[in-house]
Amino acid sequence: MADISTLIAYLENGESERRMVDSICENLAFYQNIDTGEKVGGFAGSIYNWFIRECVGRNQYLVFPENAYASIFGRYKTLVTELRKLSRTETTERTREEVARVVKEHRRALIAIVRPMNDSASAGEGVILPCAEYSESLQFEILRIDPNTIREPFLDIGCGEKATLVKAIRARGKEAVGMDQYQPADDSGCVLRANWLEFSFVPDYWGTIVSHMAFSNHFIRAIKTDPELAAWYQAVYREILESLVPGGAFCYTPALPRAEAFIDRARFTVERMTNVEGSPELDTVRVAKR
């Protein structure tokens, strides 16, 4: 799997390792002053998210097995713990040597986690990383949703690290959550760290589900590259529709004409809205349960 090979090459790259050491040395006091386990977890979460952003920057379709979540996050907790232990009385040169040692061990541990995926991980056994985050105004416009009248509860599949759309809706006093693979920045329950292919979509629960350039974008890639994964996406797509309450809607872009062809029109309505003239594949789709 070339995607994993690229990630391993990055982790083995001496220049990227040196930059990481430089960054830690410049901010070592922050690590050494973390005084509780809770703070260790919070700081580890922030740099875990940095690592995920690095992965996204290299390939938005990179696949991680579900159990890699905890393993990678655990390595970052170990990194923070090891940096806390470094002596504050060493010379600058000696401190840098110790930081370099800790960083090298950390990156070797990450490689040990991801290397087996090169041969054994199939495209259907993982979590897909999202591509980008967009402003709330753009998402409201593209998805054709009114945050003031939206039906609750609300779920954003692939909400992004900042969960911009979710927070905008919650700010209006509505029940809303997002789903993504990032470590949530707080314990507000705003974001669920979950794999959208393995998430339990309870029937007749959600008032509104949206996904802007996330679920359907990856579904389309699966259709083009992996029939088995595409079949899994099709099954989850049906689960998403069944999880809507009567009158609830799933709004997404880009369009999924192959999946939409199998929708039971007696039970669901399907509305397509043009975003770019002459490019129906970029349409926004609203599927509502009758």
User: Which of 186-190, 222-226, 283-287 has the weakest average pLDDT?
Assistant: 186-190
* Per-residue confidence band for 263, with pLDDT thresholds at 50, 70 and 90: very high
Whether residue 250 has pLDDT greater than 90? yes
Ordered structural domains, the chain, with CATH:
2-120 (no CATH), 131-289 (3.40.50.150)
* Distance, CA of 74 to chain centre: 18
Compute the mean pLDDT over every residue in the chain, rounded to the nearest whole number.
84
Of 196, 39, 59, 42, the closest CA to residue 114 belongs to 59
Q: pTM higher than 0.75, yes or no?
A: no
Q: Which residue has the higher pLDDT, 263 or 28?
A: 263
Cis peptide upstream of residue 153 (ω within 30 degrees of 0): yes
Q: Are 98 and 90 in contact (CB under 8 A)?
A: yes
Whether residue 79 has pLDDT greater than 80? yes
Whether residue 170 has pLDDT greater than 60? yes
Span 68-84, mean pLDDT? Answer: 85
Confidence (pLDDT) at 204: 97
* Per-residue confidence band for 5, with pLDDT thresholds at 50, 70 and 90: confident
Confidence (pLDDT) at 26: 85
* Distance, CA of 70 to chain centre: 14
Find the angle CA(82)-CA(83)-CA(85) to the nearest 5 degrees.
Answer: 70
User: Which of 24-38, 255-269, 273-287 has the weakest average pLDDT?
Assistant: 24-38
- Please list, in sequence order, all residues whose beta carbon lies within 8 angstroms of the beta carbon of residue 15, skipping any fewer than 6 positions away: none
Span 46-53, mean pLDDT? Answer: 74
* Per-residue confidence band for 108, with pLDDT thresholds at 50, 70 and 90: very high
Span 255-281, mean pLDDT? Answer: 92
Span 35-53, mean pLDDT? Answer: 74
Whether residue 212 has pLDDT greater than 70? yes
Whether residue 120 has pLDDT greater than 70? no
Whether residue 32 has pLDDT greater than 60? yes
